A and B are shown apart, each in its own frame.
Chain A
Amino acid sequence: MATEAAPMDEKAKRMRDLLSSFYTPDPSISTPTSSISTSFDNINGPSFDADQYMDLMIKKSNLDVLLQRHVQMAAEIKNLDTDLQMLVYENYNKFISATDTIKRMKSNIFGMEGNMDQLLHKIMSVQSRSDGVNTSLFEKREHIEKLHRTRNLLRKVQQFIYDLPARLQKCIKSEAYGDAVRFYTGAMPILKVYGDTSFKDCRRASEEAIETIIKNLQTKLFSDSESIQARAEAAVLLKQLDVPVDSLKDKLLEKLEQSLDGLQINPDEASKLAEHNVSSKDEESNNQGPAKIHEDAVRGFSEAMRAYREIFPDSEERLFKLARALTTTHFENMELYIRKRVSAADFLGIFREYSAFPPADVLLLSNSLRIIWEDVVLMDEVLPEAALSDLSAEAAQVTLKQFVARTFSHLQQDISDTLLKFDINQKEVVDGEVLKVVLEASGKAEFRQLLDENTGIFVKMNDLLIGWIQKGFQDFFSEKIHAGLILVLAQLSVVIEQKVIPRIAEEITASFSGGNSQAFIPGELCRVFHAASEKLLQHYIDTRTQKISNVLRKRFKTPNWVKHKEPREVHMYVDMLLQQLEEVGKEVKQILPQGTFRKHKRSDSNGSNTTTSSRSTTLHSDKMARSNSQRARSQLFETHLAKLFKQKVEIFTKVEFTQESVVTTTVKLCLKSLQEYVRLQTFNRSGFQQIQLDIQFLKAPLKETVEDEAAIDFLLDEVIVAASERCLDVTPLEPPILDKLIQAKLAKSKEHNNNNNKTTVSS
C-alpha cells in the first residue's frame, strides 16, 4: 500500500484511508500486510502506538523538530477535524435529504392507488372506443364489399333476364319444359318486383312463353296416352307454376271415385250371381268369374291410386278415406250378403236344405274374404300408412262374429222349431244330425277354409272364433234347454278337441313353415275344450240323476213305510225310473260313440229278450232268495263279516265319452241315491218286501243297459241290505211269489206296449 500510496497526495491518501476505515468496519482484514510492514511511526497504520511514537519522537528529535512536529500535527489534526466535520455534514445533509425524499415518496404513494385505478379505467375506455370504432368501420366495410358483390350478381341477373325469353323459346322448341319451368320460377320474383321497370318487355315475353308451356303441360296431363311418370311430372311442374292444382285433383279424384263405384257394383253382382246359383253346382265357376273381373278392377284401382299418390303426394288422407270407404263397403256388402243368406235359409226353413247350406255359405264367405284380403294387400302396398289391414281385420272379425252369431241363432231357432214340430224320438235324431252337420260345417269347413287363406289375419281370428264359439256354448249351457243338448255340446267339444284342433294346427303349420304360429296353441285349446267337455258331461249326468233322484225322493217321502201294505205289484216308480234311464240311453246312443267293449248286445226284438231276461231273473232270484234268507236269519254282525270278504266295488269311477260309461254312471248314482233314501226310512215287513220286489224287478233291465254288472249287483244288494237293516221284521218274499209278481208286471208292460203299438197303428 505504501508503494501505491507514495505517488498519491498524502492528504488524499489519508482521507481515503480514513473513509475506507469508516466504511469498512473491520480494517484488519483489508490491510493485514500493511499493518505488519509499516513501522510504528506510520501514524495512519492500525498498529500505531501513540506512546511508543511519543517516546520515539522525544528520544530522536530536538525541541524544534518537536515543536515543528507539534504544529504540523496540530494543523493536521485541524485539517482532519474539518474534513471529518465536512464529511459528517455532507452525510448528514444527504441523510436529511434522503429522509425528506422518503417522506415525500410516502405522501405521494398514498394517492397512487386511486390514480392507478383511474389510469386503468381510462386505458380501458380508450380500448373499447377504439374497438367500437373498429367494428363500426368494419360493418361499413362489409356492406361495401356486399354491395360490390351484389352489383356483380345484379349484372349477371340482368344478363339472365334479358336472355330469358329467348331461352324459354328455345326450351319450348326442344320441349324441355322442366328446364323452362326452372328458369321461369327462378326469374319469377325478380320479374314480379321489377316487372314494371326496365324488365317490362322481358317479362311480357317470358310470360307468353310460360303460358304456352302451361297449355302444353295441361294437355299432357289429361292425355291418357302419356305415361304416368310424364303425367306426374307435368302435374308437378304445373304445381310449381302455381296453376290451381285443386281443380285438377278434384277432376282426377272424381275419375277415381267413378272407377270405385264400378268396383263396388262388381262384388254386389258377384254375390248376387253366386246367390242365384247357390243351389246349382257350378257356383264355383260363377263365383270365380266375377272374382276375376273384380280382381282386375281392383288392380286398376290400385294402379290409379299409385299414380295418384305419386302425382299428389300431399293428399294421402283423401286416398285413405277412399280406400277405407272401399273396404267398409266391401264388408257392408258382406254383411248384407250374410244376412241375406241366413234369412234366405230361414225362409226355406227346412233343416235338410239348411244343413246343406252352411258349407256353401262358408265357402262364399271365405271366398269373398280372400278377395277382400287380396285387395287390401294390394292397397296396403300402395298406402302402407293407411292401416288398411287393421281396418279390414277388424271388419272381418266383426263379420265373422256376425256370421257365427247368425249361425248359432239360426241353429237355436232350428232346434226350437224341431222341438215344436217333431215328437221326441225324431227330435233327438234331427237335433243330432243338424248339430253334427252344422258342427262340421262351422267347425271344419270354416276353419279350414279360413286357414287356406294363408294370411296372418286369420290366426288372430281363429282365437276369436274359438272363443266366440265357446261363448255360444256357454250361452246354450246357461239356458239349459234340454239335457240332451248338453250332451250334444259335450260331444261337440270333444270333436273339436280331437279333430278340429289338430286339423287347424296342421293347416297352420302347413301354411306357416316359418313357424310363426305362436298365437295358436293347440295344446291349450285342447285342454280348454277337454275341460269344457268333461264339465258338460258331468253336468248332463247331474241333471239326469237329479231328475231321477226327485222321483225317488217323492216315492220315499210320501208313504208311511211302517204301515205299508202287502206288496201286490211292482211299484210305479220303477217304471218311471226305467223310463228315465231309457231316455238317457236313447240320448246317449244317438250322440256319443260306442265304447270299445260291450257285454250285451241290445236287441230290439222283444221275444228273445224276455226269455233271456226271465231266465236270468229266475237265476238271480234264486241267488237272491238264498242270500236273503240267509240274511234274514243272520245278524247284522254277519253282514259286516260278509262285507269284509266281499270285494269292495268301486262305485264312483271316472266318466268316459262312451254310451256305456255315461249310462252306467247314471245308473250307479241313482242306485246309490236309492240306497241312501232307503236308509233314512224305517220299514215294516211289507215295506221291505215291496222294496225287495222293486229291486228284483229292476235288476234285469238295469243289467241289460249297463256295462259294469258287478257294481250294479253290488249296489242293488246294498239297497236290499239297507232296507233289511232298517226293517223291523225282515221276512223276504218267497222266490216263487217274487217271480210271479215280476212276470205279472212284465206281462202288463208288454200288454201296455202292444196297446200303444195298436193305437199308433190305428191312428
Chain B
Amino acid sequence: MQGGSSGIGYGLKYQARCISDVKADTDHTSFLTGTLSLKEENEVHLLRLSSGGSELVCEGLFSHPNEIWDLASCPFDQRIFSTVFSTGESFGAAIWQIPEPYGQSNSSTLDCVASLDAHVGKINCVLWCPSGKSDKLISMDEQNLVLWSLDSSKKSAEVVSKESAGMRHSLSGGAWNPHDVNSVAATSESSIQFWDLRTMKNVNSIERAHVRNVDYNTKREHILVTADDESGIHIWDLRKAKAPVQELPGHTHWTWAVRCNPEYEELILSVGTDSAVNLWFASASSEKQASERSAEASRQRVNPLLNSYTDYEDSVYGLAWSSREPWFFASLSYDGRVLN
C-alpha cells in the first residue's frame, strides 16, 4: 500500500493467519501466505506484485497437508520456506521447497526438505537466521527453543542445541536480532526473554505481560518493538529495559502484530483484531530523544498515527513489509483477504 492510496486486494479461499515477505526474491516483490482451514485442504500462495504495482498476482498455488499457523520464507533461497502446522491435535514444523518451475501448474505439491520434529507441544514459530547465508533455524514451542542446522542439499535438518525455557514460561513467539546473530527475543506469558544462542541461556528479560508480537528495528540497534493485548505498542531500548522508550496507543482491541519498516526506522506498522492496520511514526531514537524530547514530544502527541487502514472486515493477523520495496507492505486478515 503506497501512501494513502487504497490497497490492492487479493482473496484467499480460506481463512489465513500468516504472511511472509520473500526476502530472497530480489527481482520481484513477493509474499508467501498460507491458509488456515481445519476441514479443507490448505494452500500456500505465492503472491507477486505486478511490475506496475497495480495488481497482486498469484504466482503459485501449492497444497499443504495441514493448516498453517506460521510461515517464514528462507532469506537466502526464495524457493524455501518453513511452516508451522497443526493437524488439529498435534503440531508440526517443516521446511518446504517450492518445486522447480513453479507457477506452471495450478496446484502442485511441495517438496518437504526437512521436518523439524523435535517438538512435543504446541509449536509457535520458526525463525530464520536474518544474516542471509547462514542456514540456521530456530523453532519454538511453548516450552522449548531448538536451534537447527539445515542442509538443503541433503534434505535434512539437525538439532544443534535445544533448551527448555521451563514449564512456567509458555513461549508464544519471537524475533531474531538482526544486529546480533546470537541473540533471539522470545515472548512468553509474563516477559520478553532474550536468549544467547551460543550458550542457549536466557540472558535478559523485560517484564511485560501478554506480549503478542515482537520485532527488532533493523536499522537501529537495541530498539525493539512489542505489541500486546492491553496497552498497544511499546518501543524498548534494550540497554534500558526497565521502561519503554515510547508508547503508542495501538488498537482498540488487541494489537496482534507489529513490524518495523526495513528501511525507514521511524515507521512502524501494526495490525489488530479491531480490523485495522495502523501506520505509526515513532522517532524511536533514545539518544536523540533525550535532547529533542520536548520539541519532539509535542509533535508526536499531535499525530504519532500516520494512517489507519480500515478496509478489513475481520481481525487482521498477518503483516509483512516488502524488503525489496520498503514502501509496500502486505497484511492479511482472518477471512483470507490480502491487501498490499
Q: Which residues of A contact B (CB under 8 A)?
A: 542, 546, 549, 562, 636, 640, 643, 648, 651-652, 669, 672-673, 676, 679, 682, 725-728
Contact = CB atoms under 8 A, between A and B. Distances in A.
Nearest to B252: A652
B231 A673 contact: no
Contacts of A679: 315, 334
Q: Is the interface of B mostly helix, strand, loop or mixed?
A: loop
Residue in A549, A676, A728 with the greatest tally of chain B CB atoms within 10 Å: A676
A681 B29 CA distance: 33
A727 B88 CA distance: 9
Given A546-B230, A640-B335, A725-B15, 5 more contacts: A542-B230, A562-B88, A643-B313, A672-B253, A673-B254
A652 B249 CA distance: 15
B4 to A, nearest CB: 21
Contacts of B37: 636
Contacts of A727: 38
Nearest to A682: B88
B36 to A, nearest CB: 9
Interface in B200-231: 229-231
A562 B88 CA distance: 8
Interface residues of B, number: 21
Given A652-B274, A676-B315, A636 B14 contact: yes
A676 B275 CA distance: 12
B38 A728 contact: yes
A651 B251 CA distance: 13
Contacts of B254: 673, 676
Interface string B233-251: 0000000000000000000
Contacts of A636: 14-15, 37, 39-40
A229 to B, nearest CB: 60
Interface in B297-340: 313, 315, 334-335
Contacts of B274: 651-652, 672
B86 interface: yes
A673 B273 CA distance: 9
B313 A648 contact: yes
A728 B15 contact: no
A682 B253 contact: no
Interface string B37-58: 1111000000000000000000
A542 B231 contact: yes
B287 interface: no
Nearest to B40: A636
Nearest to A563: B89
Contacts of A651: 274
B168 to A, nearest CB: 13
A679 B229 CA distance: 15
Q: Is the interface of A mostly helix, strand, loop or mixed?
A: helix
A494 to B, nearest CB: 21
A549 B253 CA distance: 11
B253 A652 contact: yes
Contacts of A726: 38
Interface in B10-62: 14-15, 37-40
A726 B315 CA distance: 15
A642 B14 CA distance: 15
B88 A669 contact: no
A546 B334 CA distance: 23
Closest 3 pairs between A and B when the two form their complex, measured CB to CB: A652-B252, A562-B89, A672-B253
B313 A673 contact: no
Contacts of B229: 546, 549, 673
Contacts of A546: 229-230
Contacts of A643: 313, 335
Contacts of B334: 679
A651 B273 CA distance: 11
A652 B315 CA distance: 13
Nearest to B274: A652
A682 B231 contact: no
A22 to B, nearest CB: 113
Nearest to A542: B230
A640 B11 CA distance: 12
Contacts of A652: 252-253, 274
Contact of B39 (A549, A640, A672, A728): A728
Nearest to A672: B253
Nearest to B14: A636
21 contacts: A542-B231, A546-B230, A562-B88, A636-B15, A636-B37, A636-B39, A643-B313, A651-B274, A669-B253, A673-B229, A673-B253, A673-B254, A676-B253, A676-B315, A679-B334, A682-B38, A682-B88, A725-B38, A727-B38, A728-B39, A728-B88
A653 to B, nearest CB: 9
A546 B232 CA distance: 13
Contacts of A728: 38-39, 88
Nearest to A722: B334
A676 B273 contact: yes
Interface in B61-99: 86, 88-89
Interface string B134-169: 000000000000000000000000000000000000
A245 B14 CA distance: 106
Nearest to B11: A640
Contacts of B38: 682, 725-728
Nearest to B67: A682
A640 B314 CA distance: 11
Contacts of B88: 562, 682, 728
A557 to B, nearest CB: 8
Nearest to A730: B39
B167 to A, nearest CB: 13
Contacts of A648: 313
A69 B199 CA distance: 167
Residue in B86, B89, B231, B313 with the greatest tally of chain A CB atoms within 10 Å: B89
Contacts of A549: 229-230
Nearest to B230: A546
Interface in B272-300: 273-274
A554 to B, nearest CB: 11
Contacts of B86: 682
A643 B273 CA distance: 17
A682 B274 CA distance: 22
A636 B36 CA distance: 12
A441 B325 CA distance: 62
B181 to A, nearest CB: 31
A275 B253 CA distance: 55
Nearest to B231: A542
Contacts of B15: 636, 725
A693 B39 CA distance: 23
Interface string B178-216: 000000000000000000000000000000000000000
Contacts of A562: 88-89
A679 B38 CA distance: 11
B212 to A, nearest CB: 10
A527 to B, nearest CB: 13
A562 to B, nearest CB: 5
Nearest to B313: A648
Nearest to B315: A676
